[in-house]
């Protein structure tokens, strides 16, 4: 008895379908030489990407083609003899137009009909990559490449996967396109499609990777200024002994750190993207290249001499930003510690002076209390003297002077005890937890 197991009995991860579909994303297109391929890459993110996607959907609909699904990142349509392949990436979108057949007699000629079709799909994003790739069925790759490209900049490489050669001088023509020649001498349609897609990816990602260089060159003066000013602040910090000057230096360090972090945050994505794109370029070159042609540099060696310094500039700028950030934080901590120590010393001196004033106040208070006891005692004894005189005048056997003299120490002692008890109660109340809350 057959026992089938259905995955519907399990709780599937919500992203399982997307993860499995990613393996089959952007499949190779089977191509047959001769043909012309035009690749455009537009920078588009957020609202611009959404608007460009809507334009592509409208373009497909207007030509009777099925539009891409809402979640699709790539789509291909065929309009007459022209194929259009659309791909959406994180920060750019590519449009690859494949014009098959021997209609183009000269390199890159596409005809008025194809040109009008391409112009009808207008994009709002900024154009960054424009590639004109020609696939020719020929075995004389060297002669053909020397006819089309400048020999001083010509780079060629045999293809690892079969009898084919790729060539380009990576210069723009009069129309602004970077021209690439693929000479096919026996590749199958599947391998030719894979080769063309990888070559287009090399040029696309090469251009995108170099976007980090302008950002690095723009940040370099600011990073240099921050580095020099940090050294000057550290020298001033060694000589500074005034709290006001230390506070000024701390504020300046904070401002320098804020400027540095703002630049680092703004370039974080650009440098990371350039590094990732450069790795993709190297990976694609490793797949397609098989050897040199007639002493001309391969694509790997040609691009390495020009791209590697740019990538090292980006990496150096990024490393300097990270190093300066750590040094600024360390210097600020040292200066903040110095300021805290100086404040603590000032607070200690202030507390010492407060203690001195408190002791003086206690002495003054004791003096005042003694005078108060004497003054109050004087008034109490005076009142008692009036009582004694009154009693004597009323006929009682009381000697006013003697009674007053005897009453003086008693009155002073009682008043002193009462004053002391009051002061003790006040002190006890002040020492109770929460008495000042």
Q: What is the largest CA-CA distance in the chain?
A: 155
Rounded to an integer, the average pLDDT of 216-232 is 93
What is the chain's length? 437
Sorting pLDDT into bands at 50, 70 and 90, what band is 402? confident
**Computed over its alpha carbons, how large is the radius of gyration of the chain?**
45
245: nearest Cα among 330, 339, 328? 339
φ, ψ dihedrals at 320, nearest 5°: -65, -40
- Whose CA is closest to 185, among 234, 136, 218? 136
Q: pLDDT by residue (tens digit) across 18-49? A: 777 666 666 778 888 899 999 999 998 888 98
Expressed in angstroms, the distance from the first to the final Cα of the chain is: 84
HEC secondary structure over 288-344: HEEECECCECCHHHHHHHHHHHHHHHHHHHHHHHHHHHHHHHHHHHHHHHHHHHHHH
Unique residue bearing structure tokens 């020397």: 146
CA distances 194 to 197, 288, 302, Å, are: 5, 9, 22
Decide: residue 425, CB within 10 A, 0-12 exposed, 13-18 middle, 19+ buried. Answer: exposed
**In contact, 49 and 125? CB cutoff 8 Å:** yes
Burial status of residue 429 (CB atoms within 10 A of its CB: 0-12, 13-18, 19 or more): exposed
Q: Strand, coil or helix: what is 129?
A: strand
CB of 280 closer than 8 Å to CB of 199: no
Which distant-in-sequence residues (6+ apart) come within 8 Å of 329 by Cβ?
A: 257
pLDDT of residue 212: 94
Is the preceding peptide bond at 34 cis, omega within 30 degrees of 0?
A: yes
Instruction: Name the residue with tokens 């957020």.
Output: 46
Query: How high is the pLDDT of residue 331?
Result: 87
Question: Using CA atoms, how far apart are residues 254 and 251, in angstroms rounded to an integer?
Answer: 5
What digits encode the pLDDT tens for the residues 124-176? 889 999 999 999 988 888 888 998 999 889 999 999 988 999 999 999 998 99
pLDDT at 104: 45
Residues 6+ away with beta carbon under 8 Å from 137: 33, 34, 184, 185
Question: Which stretches of 101-140 are DSSP H helices?
Answer: 112-120
Decide if 131 contacts 39 (C-beta within 8 A). Answer: yes
Rounded to whole angstroms, the Cα distance separating 17 from 5 reads: 19
> Which position has the higher pLDDT, 212 or 371?
212
Output the pLDDT for position 353.
81
- Could you tell me the two tokens for 403? 């009674």
The Cα 149–Cα 121 span in angstroms is 30
Average pLDDT over the chain, rounded to whole? 85
Please tell me the predicted confidence (pLDDT) of residue 8: 72
Gap between the Cα atoms of 246 and 191, Å rounded? 69
Q: How does pLDDT run across 172-222, given as a tens digit for each residue?
A: 998 999 999 999 988 999 999 999 999 999 999 999 999 999 999 999 999
Q: Using CA atoms, how far apart are residues 145 and 151, in angstroms rounded to an integer? A: 9
**What share of the chain in percent tops pLDDT 90?**
43
What pLDDT is recorded for position 103?
46
Residue 120 corresponds to which tokens in the numbers above?
């009808």
> CA of 182: how far to CAs of 27, 58, 198, 202, 308, in Å?
20, 33, 12, 14, 25
Q: In what order do the strands lie in the sheet with 92-100?
A: 74-79, 82-88, 92-100, 35-43, 126-137, 178-184, 164-168, 155-159, 289-291
Q: How far apart are CA 200 and CA 177, in angstroms?
A: 13
* pLDDT per residue as tens digits for the range 302-337: 999 889 999 999 999 999 999 999 999 988 888 887
């Amino acid at each position: 008895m057959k026992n089938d197991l259905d995955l519907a009995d399990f709780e599937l991860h919500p992203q399982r379908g997307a993860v499995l579909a990613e393996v089959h994303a952007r499949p190779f297109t089977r191509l047959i030489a001769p043909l012309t391929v035009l690749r455009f890459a537009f920078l588009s993110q957020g609202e611009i990407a959404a608007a460009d996607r809507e334009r592509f959907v409208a373009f497909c609909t207007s030509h009777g083609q099925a539009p891409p699904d809402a979640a699709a990142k790539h789509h291909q349509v065929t309009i007459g003899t022209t194929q259009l392949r659309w791909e959406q990436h994180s920060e750019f979108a590519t449009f690859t137009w494949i014009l098959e057949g021997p209609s183009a007699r000269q390199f890159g000629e596409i005809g008025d009909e194809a040109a009008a079709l391409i112009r009808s799909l207008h994009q709002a994003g900024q154009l960054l990559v424009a590639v004109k790739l020609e696939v020719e069925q020929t075995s004389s790759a060297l002669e053909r490449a020397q006819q089309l490209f400048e020999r001083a900049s010509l780079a060629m490489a045999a293809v690892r996967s079969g009898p084919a050669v790729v060539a380009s001088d990576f210069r723009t023509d009069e129309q602004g396109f970077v021209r690439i020649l693929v000479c096919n001498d026996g590749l199958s349609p599947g391998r030719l499609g894979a080769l063309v897609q990888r070559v287009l990816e090399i040029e696309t990602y090469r251009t995108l990777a170099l976007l980090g260089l302008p950002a690095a060159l723009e940040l370099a003066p600011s990073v240099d200024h921050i580095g020099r000013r940090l050294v000057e602040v550290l020298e001033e910090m060694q000589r500074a002994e005034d709290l006001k000057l230390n506070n000024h230096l701390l504020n300046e360090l904070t401002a320098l750190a804020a400027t540095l972090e703002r630049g680092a945050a703004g370039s974080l994505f650009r440098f990371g993207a350039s590094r990732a794109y450069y790795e993709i370029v190297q990976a694609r070159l490793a797949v397609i290249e098989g050897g040199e042609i007639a002493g001309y540099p391969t694509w790997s060696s040609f691009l390495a001499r020009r791209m590697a310094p740019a990538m090292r500039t980006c990496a150096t700028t990024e490393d300097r930003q990270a190093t300066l950030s750590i040094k600024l934080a360390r210097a600020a901590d040292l200066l903040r510690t110095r300021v805290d120590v100086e404040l603590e010393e000032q607070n200690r001196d202030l507390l010492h002076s407060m203690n001195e004033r408190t002791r003086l106040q206690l002495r003054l208070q004791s003096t005042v209390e003694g005078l108060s006891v004497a003054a109050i005692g004087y008034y109490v004894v005076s009142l008692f003297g009036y009582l004694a005189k009154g009693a004597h005048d009323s006929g009682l056997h009381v000697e006013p002077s003697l009674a007053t003299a005897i009453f003086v120490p008693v009155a002073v002692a009682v008043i002193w005890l009462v004053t002391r008890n009051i002061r003790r109660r006040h002190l006890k109340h002040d020492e109770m937890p929460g008495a000042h809350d």
